Chains A and B, each alone.
Chain A
């Protein structure tokens, strides 16, 4: 039967490590919490310790830290303009958190924080609330021009406005589901093929031969998943930048 070794869903299970209960809410320290803290620690270690020498000619860790910073800074600057740089802490935090969590998920036995919809949804809502609140704070009602693009014939303005509103409301959904589904599906696929290998090798000599194919698939999928890990972090970041651009410069 489906034992722990081949069950593709088991890896997403949340286990309590320390029971904590505040005001009737269960906020136990779980394996998910542990890996969130580990992600935070890894980011702090890489970025703070890596750049602590402040060398003019950087070493390896400092190069990685600088590359990450410049990558996000350039993405933000080209998408949202120079005034978007005020959101650098938020965007950089999001990128590093999502990227590190995704990459951590690739380590066997590690928990993938971003494979839970509640985490990605929380991050997406953080972005959308930031965009909406800052948009109204900076532009006032002018922010609503976002929904009425200029240069559109009056006859189809209601239609376009409706489409714009629907697209705005679907942003948090697509932002969270995209990341969540990619991580979930990738890990399930990996586990299913790895499970084939385990099951087939238990069937004797023919099974060993038969296990070769899924093994090759697992290797290839692992490479693909590393790509997806980075790509989804980048997609999350650049979409965040584009939404922030809407808040900074509404009316297209």
Chain B
């Protein structure tokens, strides 16, 4: 095919259907009303005469694009995405660590707080028990003193009572002696005492 030889001014479509070099399209080219049709009226996408040029340049461009993609673009963008993912992961690990540190600090603070509270409780308890112990001691002492005094006093009362009772019998004997003497004359002390003893035995 040598159709291209007369295509000197292909960019100027207004030349009309002058070229008859389009051998297979002659009849179509003259009957179709498209004066400006560059290829004798053929529907351009189906014009086989343009195929070699399109395929040739498509091959060049697409191979160049493929090489560019495979060698430069994809490694570069994948590298960026990888670096970002790595940085995010590293930052997350760091954040995790900081969070753990914070948790540990909070835990130790709470532990020392609890220890201080326990200590305070212990001191309070100790003080309270010490005071209570002291009070108990003093009370015991006071009670013991009181009890001793009570015992002394009771003993004293018993002594006094015993002495008084001993005197009662002597007084009664004397009284009886003097009453009987006044009534019937002299009587021996032994008889009087025996009579008193008999009376008090029958009374009791």
In-complex Cβ contact of A70 among B7, B38, B61, B81 (8 A)? B81
User: How far, in whole Å, are A19 and B57 apart by their CA atoms in the complex?
Assistant: 13
CB under 8 Å from chain B, chain A span 1-58:
1-4, 7, 9-10, 12-17, 19-22, 25-30, 32-33, 36-37, 39-40, 43-44, 47-48, 51-52, 54-56, 58
Residue of B nearest to A2 (CB): B34
Chain B residues 41-80 with CB under 8 Å of chain A are 43-47, 49-59, 61-62, 64-66, 68-70, 72-74, 76-80
Whole-angstrom distance between the Cβ of B156 and the nearest chain A Cβ:
106
Q: Which residues of A contact B10 (CB under 8 A)?
A: 15-16
Give the contacting residue for B44; candidates A3, A14, A47; CB below 8 A: A14
Contact residues of B between 144 and 192, Cβ < 8 Å to A: none
Minimum CB–CB distance from A2 to chain B (whole Å) comes to 6
| Residue contact B58 to A122, C-beta cutoff 8 Å | yes
Residues of A within 8 A of B64 (CB): 40
| B-chain residues with CB within 8 Å of residue A238 when the two chains form the complex | none
Q: Is B202 an interface residue (CB 8 A)?
A: no
Residue of B nearest to A50 (CB): B77
With A56-B87, A66-B81, A184-B45 as given contacts, are A118 and B54 in contact (CB-CB < 8 Å)?
yes
**B73, A48: Cβ atoms under 8 Å?**
yes
Docked CA distance A221–B37 (Å)? 26
Query: Given A2-B33, A7-B36, A14-B38: A27 and B77 within 8 A (CB)?
Result: no
Chain A, interface size: which category? Answer: 35 or more
Q: Is the CB of A44 within 8 A of B44?
A: no
Interface residue A180 (Cβ < 8 Å from any Cβ of B): yes
**Does A119 sit within 8 A of B, measured CB to CB?**
yes
> Please, which residue of chain B has its CB at the minimum distance from the CB of A116?
B45
B31 within 8 A of A: no
Partner-contacting stretch, out of A84-92, A157-165, A166-174: A84-92
Is B107 at the interface (CB under 8 A from chain A)?
A: no
Residues of B within 8 A of A19 (CB): 4, 7
Q: How far is the CA of A62 from the CA of B81 in the complex (A)?
A: 11
Give complex CA distance A91, B36 in Å.
39
A126 to B61, CA, bound (A): 14
Q: CB of B19 within 8 A of chain A?
A: no
Could you tell me the distance in whole angstroms from the C-beta of A77 to the nearest C-beta in chain B?
13
CA of A15 to CA of B47, assembled, Å: 12
A240 within 8 A of B: no
- State whether A54 touches B58 (Cβ < 8 A): no
The residue of chain A having its C-beta at the shortest distance from the C-beta of B65 within the complex is A93
Provide the residues of chain B in CB contact with A124, threshold 8 Å.
Answer: none
Q: Is the CB of B76 within 8 A of A27?
A: no
Cβ contact within 8 Å between A51 and B77: yes
Known contacts A9-B44, A69-B81: A93-B58 contact under CB 8 Å? no
Write 8 A-B pairs (CB below 8 A) sorted by A numbering: A4-B14, A12-B43, A30-B54, A32-B50, A40-B68, A90-B66, A92-B69, A122-B59
Q: Which residues of B contact A (CB under 8 A)?
A: 1, 3-4, 7, 10-11, 13-14, 33-39, 43-47, 49-59, 61-62, 64-66, 68-70, 72-74, 76-81, 83-84, 87
Across the A-B interface, the 7 shortest Cβ-Cβ residue pairs: A33-B57, A89-B70, A27-B56, A12-B44, A36-B61, A69-B77, A25-B52
Having A13-B39, A119-B58, one finds 19 other A-B pairs with CB under 8 Å, namely A1-B33, A7-B36, A9-B34, A14-B38, A26-B3, A26-B4, A26-B53, A28-B4, A30-B54, A33-B53, A33-B54, A44-B68, A48-B73, A51-B80, A65-B73, A93-B62, A97-B61, A115-B45, A122-B59
